[in-house]
Structure 1
Amino acid sequence: MTKLREQLIQIQKSNYRKNVKLVRESLGYEAGVARYRKEYLHYLEDYEAISNKTDLIGKASAADVIFHGDYHTLAQSQRSVLRILRELLGKREIVLCLEMFHGSDQKHVDRFMSGELSENAFLDKIDYAKKWPFYWSNWSAIISLCRDNKIPILGINSEINDAKGIRSLRERDAYSAQIISKAFLRNPGKLIYVVDGDLHISPNHLPRNVAQLLALLDEPVKLFIIFQNAETLYWKLCSEGLEEADVLRISENMYCVMNTMPANKIQSYLNWLEYSQDAYFPVHKDWDGNDFEERGAMVHKMVTTLASIFKLELPSDALEKLTIHYPNDLDFMERLYGTPELKGQLRLVRDKIKREEGFLLEYEQSGENKYLIYLANSNINMAAEESCHFLNAVLRGPLKTPLSPLDYFYRNVITECLGFFGSKFLNEKRKAQTENSIRRFLGKVKRGELKGADQETIQVARYILQHFYMQRKTNEAAEFIKKFGPQYKSRSVISRMFSTQLGYMLGNKLYYAVKRGKFSMHRIQEIFRDPFDKPMKAFACYLEVSERVKVVKHVSRL
């Protein structure tokens, strides 16, 4: 194990232990629930092999009933469900069973799915906020996919008013099993896809109830279980140097998808407690405390953590020159308009806010360099990326001279590369697009499978593939200018997305190269400090890093 890997794992374990302690303080202890959880963990002590998406989808498409575990406060958990459902479209007819809806509300679910009820009317009729107090936005894409593809949805949750602890959990499983079993019997040949809480999908919980009910009717059924982000397996992978694995085969009919790190998973619950959004900010012990100060302290911690990992020394007063703003900071726009040094960036700011993107602004005021971070939400990736941008901006200093369009474009690419690269050290499971994933995306667009795809995204995808083709063909700047000159000159959204995605993809590969000792930390330090204010320097750096990391294999998006 390299020293860097060991350092990263220790940081992850420290954050995880801290978050688990906070959760225990929040929830208290209930013996029955602890026993129910222990029964679940029994199946997650070991795994048979590292697997992949293709194998998982193949097994899933051959099943009769799928049980997909969900960690309700983690957006990545719901995205995993969405991605697998998309992969199964066209392979099987599907009936989706969701814990988020109660069986007693099925008539309202049916009316909503048929278009008879609006979204707001539906949520009001089922008393969504009370019965399922998790973010509707995390589920809306799944619901839309089902409506667009005529996939029926069944609610499987219930209100167990008198039962508590393990009795409540087991009675809930028994109720859900009846609905799932009826769905299986009434829809011969269709795939019954169940999304339920992590603990419920343990083989000895809900799946066993379903199997027992169908066995009474002499109905054979092939069950398949998809766990997500089992902490026990993640730490085992770390000990084996295999923590980059995305899919594990636990047994013939049980797999585990790994799409976030344990500390981030638990943190999403802590932030749900404080009505945040899948974030990295600590739970508030005092609801009347200064929210901005606590959030700012967490960004400061990210900056100092990254500086420590990269062995970069910040000026002692650097963090004092940084202000951090959020959407609920009502005087943010007034401050921008009242700062003459920022007026030239207002168009960029408005566009970023509209697209719910984070950003860093650098400006000079009264002879001092100042920095402003805006976080559109409290997502860990965004906070980590902008923290790394700040670290980079302080070390390289302000740009003193104008740059050519080519130099400006590739300076942005390097900036985005470092931002993504740094964010991976705080969330290794963050994924970037790959050349193959972009080819698959454009293939689906061409076949008419993604009719709602954003035209800007499609154009950027084409530019990226053309750029990679040019990289294989030549390293002459004149050839790149001939091909991409208009994009280099443009300050449009498409041009910015183009440079950002090139940077993300390079940063993703760079992370794995550094982690595996294939790219020196000394060179990383040089890139962080380089202002890239000389002609052709950023372009040359991009080509150099691209060439050095091109053979690095990394995890693809599930």
Structure 2
Amino acid sequence: MRASLALHFALFRRQKAQIARAVDGQTSTFRAYEARYRRRTASYRQELPLSAVHQRLRAADVVYVGDYHTLPLAQETYLGMVERALESGRRVVMALECVEGRHQAFLDDYLTGRLPERALLERLGRAPGPGLDGWSGFRPLLAFAKRHRLQVVGIDRRVQGERSLELRDAYAAERVARVARAEDRPQVLVLVGQYHVAPCHLPAQVERALGETHARQGLVVYQNCEGVYWRLAREGRAGAVEAAELADGSLCLLNASPVVCQQSFLDYLEAEAGDAPLRDRSAADRFREMASLIARLAGVQVGRALDEVEVATAADGDVLARIQQRGRFTQVELAQLRRHILSRESSYIPRARMAYLASLSLNHAAEEAAHFVRHCAVGDAMEAPRRASDAFYARCMEEALGFFGSKLVNPRRGCAGLAEWARRVARMRGVERQIAAFVLAHKAAEAEGPDEAVKLLPLRRDRLFHGVSHALGYLLGDALYQAFDTGRVEKAEIRALFRDSLADPRSTYFHWVQRLG
């Protein structure tokens, strides 16, 4: 297995485990339901061009499109299929899992102009708010349907218990069948979670609901099945194949890596106030926009460096090779970078002049943009070799400036305060608990002066070292932004701080701690 593929697959496995830990309540029924989907999508029969997919789409009466709810590209792909279907001249019906059937009247009022979008979202329990709300990809679907006067049917049902999946499929099937059996034989495009579209799940229920009298031609279209993607990746063809046909005649569109799909969900889980998703294809452009904004305030000339900086994301399977090409790294350093990528942490790598965005979020990109601006200001001093205590406080200051820069872009970004760190001491275990304890101890010792605080440093450059310096840096960066925003810190001081080579980082850290109170 190529090194780049091995890294990409290792990240996939790690994120899969992280999602499994975050999602509670997986019953034996759910695991069996998932297993049936995975067996059917483990491999493929032949590759297909998109033209063949469109041809199959035109011939179908009911098209089941697999959705990854937190990935806007999944909903964009579905919308593209709706547009294709409209070209045939047939009446098109959109059947959406994102709307419960009990809310159909509200949906109809919105589509006919009697209910504004905001009121609809409130009634659906989807009122716009801060952070990544998992709804951004669905709003364009409803807007499109309203503009083109399409019928939209909500097919979800709120139900819990061991039989919830079966009951939800049965309910959705009845609603899909009701519109599919109309005399004018409309084309119904169903957008529902990927597991549901396995032929033995929702499609089988729809067939039973329609009966032989109203039999309709069905077509299952998955998106980015993991088994198909990884087989293509092992063959070196993951980016070259548009679609594939599976053994049972279902289709699989390939428009995103499973790693990117996972990250959209993890971004949703971890979203902070005011954060917003970056689309992968625009991440580099948005990074440069934010770097320009931060550089103007910091008084740093970024010029040609802005054109030369490279922005990589988790979608780039060859990210480690690209880092190695852009800078001289030892095998030990490359191993450290690999561990960092697998930890899902974004970073700016000065020697490679590369920003790695582990999450496609505004906050992550803005923070790394601030680190890039800092590098433009001080050059190699950013990576100067230091003894352990100086390295610790230098990292605190770098993290503070990164967080400060992200607050310039997103003032609503929150920061865990001391009360939260106290809760983590009680709630966490292992290294995470140690980090919280060190943060609280260091903040308490700061009042007694640098000499006392230094006694509490974790000096081995491991997870504890990085976790504590990261947390203390964020606390300082948040305080720095609040002081700047209220006029207690002048722009000239910020500019001087961005240019500070940190020859004595401990003194700089404690100066700002005392300066900001």
Shorter-chain TM-score range: 0.5 to 0.7
Q: 1:318 to 1:151 in 2, by over 3 A?
A: same
The alpha-carbon distance between structure 1 residues 323 and 89, as it changes in their structure 2 partners (threshold 3 A), is closer
Q: Percent identity?
A: 22
Aligned to 1:305: 320
Q: How does 1:203-218 map to 2 (within 5 A)?
A: 203-215=199-211, 218=213
2:29 aligned with 1:32: yes
Equivalent residue in structure 2 for 1:55, among 52, 57, 60: 52
What residue in structure 2 maps to residue 95 of structure 1?
Answer: 93
Distance 1:182 1:76 in 2: 29
Question: Structure 1 210/307 Cα, relative in aligned 2: closer, same or farther at 3 Å?
Answer: closer
| From 108, 111, 115, the counterpart of 2:109 | 111
The alpha carbon displacement at 1:275 in A equals 2.3
**1:189 equivalent in alignment to 2:221:** no
Change (3 A) 1:264 1:200: same
- Cα distance, 1:86–1:309 mapped onto 2, change above 3 Å: farther
Give the gaps of 5 or more residues in structure 2. 281-310, 334-348, 383-397, 411-517
- Evaluate the alpha carbon distance shift between residue 322 and residue 249 of structure 1 in structure 2; reply closer, same or farther with a 3 A threshold: closer
Q: How far did 1:306 drift?
A: 5.0
Shift, 1:76, TM fit? 1.7
> Closer, same or farther in 2 for the Cα pair 1:309/1:181, shift >3 Å?
farther
2:63 match: secondary structure = strand
Quick check: 2:173–2:202 contact (8 Å CA) kept in 1?
Answer: yes
Say which SS state the counterpart of residue 216 (structure 2) adopts. Answer: coil
Change in CA separation of 1:23 and 1:328 when aligned onto 2, cut-off 3 Å: closer
Distance in 1 separating the partners of 2:354 and 2:109: 51
Checking the alignment, whether the CA contact within 8 Å between 2:66 and 2:221 is kept in structure 1 is yes
Q: Shift of the alpha carbon at 1:259?
A: 1.2
Aligned-residue offset at 1:262: 1.8
Deviation at 1:270, TM superposition (A): 1.6
Counterpart AA for 1:227 = Y
**Which blocks of at least 5 consecutive residues in structure 1 are unaligned?**
282-297, 337-358, 378-558
- In structure 1, how many angstroms separate the alpha carbons of the residues matched to 2:170 and 2:356? 49
Aligned partner of 1:318 among 342, 350, 353: 350
Q: Once the two structures are superposed, what CA deviation does each residue of 1:110-164 show, in whole Å capped at 9, x if it has no partner?
A: 110111111111111222259xx9533212222222122111111001111xx32
Alpha-carbon distance, 1:78 to partner: 1.3
Residue aligning to 1:149: 148
What's the CA shift for 1:195? 0.4
Residue 201 in structure 1 maps to residue 216 in structure 2: no
Aligned twin of 2:414: none
Determine whether 1:228 maps to 2:223: yes
Report if the CA contact (8 A) 1:75-1:278 is conserved: no
| Deviation of the 1:248 alpha carbon | 0.5
1:66·1:226 contact (CA, 8 Å) conserved in 2?
yes
Amino acid at match of 2:152: I
Q: Deviations over 1:176-211 (max 9, x none)?
A: 101000011235221011000011111011100000
Distance 1:96 1:263 in 2: 28
Deviation at 1:273, TM superposition (A): 1.1
- Asked if 1 retains the 8 angstrom alpha-carbon contact of 2:4 and 2:319, the reply is no
Cross-structure match for 2:9? 13
What is the identity, as a one-letter code, of the residue corresponding to 1:313? R
Amino acid at match of 2:145: C
- 1:223–1:253: 8 Å Cα contact kept in structure 2? no
Cα deviation 1:352-400 (Å, max 9, x = unaligned): xxxxxxx9658854787889998889xxxxxxxxxxxxxxxxxxxxxxx
Equivalent residue of 1:194, what SS?
strand
The whole-number CA distance in structure 1 between the counterparts of 2:319 and 2:247 is 42
Superposed displacement of residue 266, structure 1: 1.5
2:377 and 2:91 map into 1 onto residues whose CA distance is 61
Amino acid at match of 2:189: Y
How many residue pairs match? The answer is 326
Mapping of residues 121-160 of structure 1, within 5 Å: 121-128=119-126, 134-160=133-159
Q: What is the CA–CA distance in structure 2 between the aligned matches of 1:323 and 1:55, rounded to whole Å? A: 39
Q: 1:74, CA displacement in angstroms?
A: 1.4
Alignment correspondent of 2:164 = 168
Q: 1:84 aligns with which of 81, 84, 105?
A: 81
Question: CA separation in 2, counterparts of 1:68 and 1:178?
Answer: 17
1:181 to 1:14, Cα distance in 2 relative to 1, 3 A: same
Shift in CA distance, 52/187, structure 1 to aligned 2, threshold 3 Å: farther
The DSSP-based 3-state class of the residue aligned with 1:81 is: helix
Cα contact 1:307–1:314 (8 A) shared by 2: no
Separation in structure 1 between the aligned mates of residue 80 and residue 247 of structure 2, nearest angstrom:
22
Kindly tell me: are residues 168 and 149 of structure 1, through their superposed partners in 2, closer, same or farther at Cα, counting changes over 3 Å?
Answer: same
Determine the C-alpha separation between the residues in 2 that align with 1:225 and 1:64: 11
- The alignment partner of 1:128 has SS state of coil
CA distance in 2, matches of 1:320, 1:147: 48
Residue deviations 1:222-271 (CA, integer Å, cap 9, x gap): 00000011111111122333322120111574100111112221122122
Greater CA radius of gyration, 1 or 2? 2
TM-score (norm 2): 0.55
* Larger deviation, residues 318-327 vs 18-27: 318-327
Distance 1:187 1:41, change over 3 A: farther
Letter in 1 for 2:229: Y
Structure 1 residues 70-469: aligned runs within 5 Å: 70-91=67-88, 92-128=90-126, 134-160=133-159, 163-165=160-162, 167-186=163-182, 188-215=184-211, 218-244=213-239, 245-251=241-247, 253-275=249-271, 305=320, 307-310=322-325, 312-313=327-328, 318=350, 365=377
Counterparts of 2:81 and 2:372, CA distance in 1: 35
Measured at CA, do residues 323 and 123 of structure 1 come closer, stay the same or move farther in structure 2, by a change above 3 Å? same
